[in-house]
Structure 1
């Protein structure tokens, strides 16, 4: 659903704002109303305003296939395992997994960006203790 909305927004050059309330997107021409909505949501939830959403444009045929995809597939397998506790990377890892049959250099770069993100955000995952309660706590 979100990917469809973003694809339409990119195609129509809509200005879309991304708020990290586990991803809320606001769209509209009235920037004052958007600002008011962000302030209203921030009072109820602790928002992290990511600002105006920028779309990366990349042509699929502009890249070369990886000569040896072994390392890419190893990294991808490790990332897939991490999605059990790091739900924040699940969407990106899933997308890269769909491209694993014929990975290109840009896909390896994307995997390395995810690794860099993980390195910069330790402690963001879900802790699953071997003993104790099975209840999740915020």
Structure 2
């Protein structure tokens, strides 16, 4: 349409480039974001869309699908303050005492401990709304990931853990992510795993986060599909997940005319996993690992990524693999670029 190309990395994204002029169009059902560096091209596009679909121009982006966008000289901040307050109101916790971190350290929830809830729909509704909140709140991703595993038969300890997450949100409902206005265009990722962390299945938990310069642009917590036989294997699988994310992000950035020449740096705190990734020899310790995990080696050899050892004390992906104590938790979220726009100065 109108000379736009559909992105292969994200089918809802359309871009057009002519010389130095660049315009991007992001579509979700009947909500559209238009941006670019050429106001004349944007105005022309809006004219074409209005002629065909009768669109309504709402001006500069401030609110989109529950996400609030704020601008300053420092950059752009996205948050979900109103959505968070709506969740707290629904749970009756607007006046509750807040917590400093979302989940008790070393907490292990299981599907069988505690009494079944009389109203499981309440639990499912709260967790479902929290899942959408993780779009701008990486600080609760691990907690929500854990709690979403008990939707089938939620029990009293699960609800208590949900209420603790909500009490944490009560302390900073306007917390969000800063995208600095002055930034470099280097891709950096941190990956980690918590070996055999699930007390029921003994599967490990993968966590990773990706930065473009100083801006956090991608993060995830995921239970691994198989049981890992060692911590090195679990970490290697986490590296594979992070490598796939880096590959996708590079394709997406190309659609935005951002061509990254340098290899992305992938930080890992497990020396054995780094050795497996760098060693092309098929040996005893890795022959049982699925072949798709070895894409890490391929991407290293092609120059797309490079690996680096990071001590556990500096591993930012820790927050995506386990519940942390107050000090470690607050230190990591500061480094992730999470801030509270509405905190007193």
Q: Normalization by structure 2: what TM-score?
A: 0.21
Q: Which has the higher strand share?
A: 2
Q: Normalization by structure 1: what TM-score?
A: 0.49
Give 1 or 2 for the bigger CA radius of gyration.
2
Q: Which has the higher helix share?
A: 1
